[in-house]
């Protein structure tokens, strides 16, 4: 895909993400919760409304594109481009009125993600990247922190809604925390990846993510100079996502 197309996809995603952000900033007085994997893993009516807005807006501009979205929207691609959408990443933050929730929109072709936008309207932040063109926060170019030694690293993470997996994650944190500067738990995977990209944290890892959690943020982090992989060092996957600048990434992989 050409650089012009990648830039066009970013521009489309930015407009749509900002529109979804405006919708979500009109926070309702009460919420309707739809249970997903457990009673503490849920979607609200606002997740669903935001997804409808995003899908409708993207297909209005590019009707031949595909759709993969967290709340179930699906559309087969005829163009070779598929949008990967998390309409409200950080739903629990949103429910409780905490910052950091965001809209994550990525576009991929057969070779991988080529455009990504993460919009966090509660903090006034919009990160974006087109493959091969660098990463930006509010139109200012950003870079990850590198080199960083493990003992000086500020590392973000998240926890699964699955109780048994959460126990494993807790044990991993217990082993890791004496070796690093500190841990941060922000509550939204896409923003954590963007925090790595801008140097607000040095590294990030989390288990049990879905493609829409890391598609846009992962590209933004990569374009900032970071490395994003799975636990084994290959492609990021549902088992684990590990992201940091090159020197810290190797050290984190060795520990987790």
Write out pLDDT tens, residues 78-103.
Answer: 999 999 999 999 999 999 999 999 99
Please tell me the distance from the alpha carbon of residue 156 to that of residue 181, in angstroms, as a whole number: 11
d(CA 155, CA 162): 22
pLDDT classification of 73: cutoffs 50, 70, 90:
confident
- At residue 161, the pLDDT reads 79
Are 134 and 196 members of one domain? no
- Residue 169 vs residue 15, higher pLDDT: 15
Residue ending a domain, choose from 85, 114, 142 = 142
Tokens read off for 12: 């489309």
pLDDT digits (tens, 9 = 90+) for 17-37: 999 999 999 988 888 878 665
Cβ-contact 241, 214 below 8 angstroms: yes
Select from 142, 161, 190 the last residue of a domain.
142
Instruction: Kindly report the CATH number assigned to the domain that includes residue 224.
Output: 3.40.190.80
Residues 62 and 123 in one domain: yes
| Tens digit of each residue's pLDDT (9 = 90 or more) over 144-161 | 999 999 999 999 999 987
170 plus 131 within the same structural domain: no
Q: How many domains does the chain have?
A: 2
* Same domain as 101, residue 212: no
Q: Are residues 127 and 54 in the same domain?
A: yes
- Segment 208-226 mean pLDDT: 97
> Are 128 and 29 part of one and the same domain?
yes
Whether 198 and 133 map to the same domain: the answer is: no
**Domain that residue 72 falls in:** 3-142
- Please tell me whether the overall predicted TM-score, pTM, comes out greater than 0.85 for this model: yes
Average pLDDT over residues 60-86: 95
Same domain membership, residue 154 and residue 134? no
What value, to the nearest 5°, has the Cα angle with vertex 56 and ends 54 and 58? 65
pLDDT at 237: 85
What secondary structure does DSSP assign to the chain, as a single string? --HHHHHHHHHHHHHHHHHHHHHHHS--SS--EEEEEETTEEEEHHHHHHHHHHHHHHHHH-TTSEEEETTS-EE--SSS-EEEEEEEE-HHHHHHT-TT-EEEEEEEETTEEEEEEEEEGGGTEEEEEETTS-EEETTEEE----S--GGG-EEEE---SSHHHHHHHHHHHHHHGGGSSEEE--S-HHHHHHHHHHTSSSEEEEES--HHHHHHHHHHHHHTT-EEE-TTSSS--SSEEEEE-HHHHHHHHHH-
């Amino acid at each position: 895909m050409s650089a012009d197309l990648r830039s066009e996809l970013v521009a489309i995603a930015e407009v749509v993400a900002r529109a979804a952000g405006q919708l979500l900033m009109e926070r309702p007085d009460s919420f309707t919760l739809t249970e997903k994997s457990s009673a503490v893993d849920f979607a609200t009516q606002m997740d669903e409304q935001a997804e409808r807005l995003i899908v409708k807006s993207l297909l209005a501009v590019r009707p031949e594109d595909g759709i993969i979205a967290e709340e179930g929207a699906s559309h087969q691609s005829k163009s070779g481009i598929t949008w990967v959408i998390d309409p409200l990443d950080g739903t629990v933050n949103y429910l409780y009125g905490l910052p950091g929730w965001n809209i994550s929109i990525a576009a991929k072709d057969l070779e991988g993600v080529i455009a990504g936008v993460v919009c966090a309207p509660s903090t006034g932040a919009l990160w974006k990247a087109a493959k091969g063109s660098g990463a930006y926060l509010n139109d200012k170019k950003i870079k990850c922190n590198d080199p960083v030694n493990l003992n000086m690293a500020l590392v973000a993470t998240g926890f699964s809604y699955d109780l048994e997996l959460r126990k494993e994650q807790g044990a991993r944190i217990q082993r890791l925390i004496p070796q690093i500067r500190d841990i941060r738990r922000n509550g939204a995977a896409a923003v954590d990846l963007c925090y790595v990209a801008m140097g607000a944290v040095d590294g990030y890892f989390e288990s049990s993510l879905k493609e829409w959690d890391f598609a846009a943020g992962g590209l933004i982090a990569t374009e900032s100079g970071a490395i994003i992989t799975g636990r084994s060092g290959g492609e990021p996957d549902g088992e684990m996502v590990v992201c940091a600048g090159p020197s810290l990434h190797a050290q984190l992989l060795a520990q987790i």
